Structure 1
Amino acid sequence: MTMAGTLYLIPNTLGPADAGAADPLRALIPDEVQAITAGLDCFIAENAKTTRAFLKLVALQHPLAKPLQEIQINELNVNTPEAMLPQLLQPLLEGRNAGLISEAGVPAVADPGANLVRLAHAQGIQVRPLVGPSSLLLAVMASGLNGQSFAFNGYLPVDAAQRGKQIKMLEERSRKEKQTQIFIETPYRNAALLETLANTCQPGTLICIATDLSLASESIVTRTAAVWKKQLAAGKAPDLHKRPTVFLFLGQ
């Protein structure tokens, strides 16, 4: 009986790395993680194009197991039917090791890979998470909000009325439980979400906006809702347009 391979959960960068540097991944991805990644010839990726770009950076320090064009990359994204998951794990059941890699950050967190990981466990496949940047944890670390109790809520509703209702509900939970609430938004709607938060939350609620985490353009600012509201009214809104941002708040 063939022993199943190992599914490695491989962290990606949170944005474009400095491709001109001799080792552009050095400050972001541990060398051992790069070496493990380079030794794989089978990947399950949220985005095949960004995975190839990541492997090119890995190859600057660690020769790849095969030429890039010969490496197997199967996509797993929000459009992948659940029925396709067993097929994605087939190489592992045949004894090959494989890497699960997100478009940015760590796989299976705010990422469609979680269902595949659960199926891997159910089929007796060893799962190994590797160390790398997580925008959610970096944001909690730098926010100054409660790092002992926090909840990630994904995306808020698009409908304005439902969004406002959800924010008020989360704010009340945050105040009662002293729990940091975390969420993300489609980058082109970041500015609108900040405005909604500033106008919906209680004046004393602490709101953190963490943008371009781990990049040279990184910005992390925590202010009360009242201060954000005043800043926006004065036309001093931060530039959040199309920049990956994590939003956090803590009710007081």
Structure 2
Amino acid sequence: MPGTLFLIPNTLGETEALASVLPEQVQHITSQLDYFVAENAKTARAFLKLVNASHPLAKPLQEITISELNVNTPPAALAGLLAPLLAGRDGGLVSEAGVPAVADPGADLVRLAHQHGIPVRPLVGPSSLLLAVMASGLNGQSFAFNGYLPTDAAQRTARIKELETRSRKEKQTQLFIETPYRNTAMLEALVGACAPGTLICVATDLSLATETIRTQTGAQWKSQLGAGKAPEFHKKPTVFLLLGQ
């Protein structure tokens, strides 16, 4: 019998109080595993140290195996990452932040696990995308996540207009993210490309003490930026949402 692949959520940023975002069951299951797949082994160890503070690990940290899966992992290496599970060992896929396999390279591993008959068990934890939809006041019945938009200014503007048109036509909330140091450029691009009445939400540092969430029309954001009152979101993880009216 193969082991189970547990999909283990992480916090959305630095915190010493795991209980505020991760259920006790998630911490307990994590503490009992000795094999993990993570995007970065160093940050995964830091996460396990936090778990250990309230739920002692079943094995010393130095005896826990952490294999890396990131954008540099060749597809041919995925099978090897599942070998311990096929041999009957339970394992955990842990995210850098939030939930695994959503805007995360772990999705390919999960698909391969299904192909090999490995049970997959998702565990409850914070998702910045769903938290942003919840708090935005935009359409939560129909929404789409679009990942990163183009970095080229002209291409980005064209993509924003395309998403706005789709949003207005289908009444669908459009979500996307940006590299944190480009947050200001993204908001300025949204204000410049969207119609004055389009609703734009900026959700920053979700679930953290520094969390800020603001939904305004494009015209209101333009006025705020013109007055030099940009959000305090430089280098902070942010989700952007829009809904065309």
TM range (shorter): over 0.9
Give unmatched runs, 5+ long, in structure 2: none
How many Å apart are 1:96 and its aligned residue?
0.2
Give unmatched runs, 5+ long, in structure 1: 19-23
How many Å apart are 1:133 and its aligned residue?
0.3
Q: 1:21 matched to which residue of 2?
A: none
Q: 2:50 matched to which residue of 1?
A: 57
**2:10 is the alignment partner of 1:17:** no
How many Å apart are 1:183 and its aligned residue?
0.2
How many Å apart are 1:57 and its aligned residue?
0.9
Q: Secondary structure at the match of 2:19?
A: coil
Q: Secondary structure at the match of 1:163?
A: helix
Residues 159-170 of structure 1: pairs in structure 2 closer than 5 A: 159-170=152-163
How many Å apart are 1:47 and its aligned residue?
1.3
Q: How many residues align?
A: 245
Q: 1:172 matched to which residue of 2?
A: 165
How many Å apart are 1:65 and its aligned residue?
1.5
Q: Secondary structure at the match of 2:187?
A: helix
Q: 2:193 matched to which residue of 1?
A: 200
**2:181 is the alignment partner of 1:183:** no
* Residues in 2 aligned to 1:200 and 1:103: alpha-carbon distance in whole angstroms: 32
Deviations 1:35-76 (A, max 9, x none): 000000000001111111111111111111210111000000
Q: Secondary structure at the match of 2:20?
A: coil
Deviations 1:196-229 (A, max 9, x none): 0011100000000000000000000000000001
* Residues in 2 aligned to 1:105 and 1:78: alpha-carbon distance in whole angstroms: 17
Q: Secondary structure at the match of 1:154?
A: strand
- TM-score w.r.t. length of structure 1: 0.96
- TM-score w.r.t. length of structure 2: 0.99
Q: CA RMSD in A?
A: 0.5
Residues 44-193 of structure 1: pairs in structure 2 closer than 5 A: 44-193=37-186
Q: Calculate percent identity across the aligned residue pairs.
A: 74
Q: Which runs of 4+ in 1 moved over 2 A?
A: none
Q: 2:217 matched to which residue of 1?
A: 224
Q: 1:7 matched to which residue of 2?
A: 5
Q: Secondary structure at the match of 1:128?
A: strand
* Residues in 2 aligned to 1:216 and 1:4: alpha-carbon distance in whole angstroms: 41
Q: 1:250 matched to which residue of 2?
A: 243
* Residues in 1 aligned to 2:51 and 2:233: alpha-carbon distance in whole angstroms: 30
How many Å apart are 1:160 and its aligned residue?
0.8
Alignment-mate amino acid for residue 175 of structure 1: R
Q: Secondary structure at the match of 2:18?
A: coil
Alignment-mate amino acid for residue 215 of structure 2: T
Deviations 1:169-196 (A, max 9, x none): 1000000000000000001101100010
Alignment-mate amino acid for residue 140 of structure 1: V
Q: Secondary structure at the match of 1:132?
A: coil
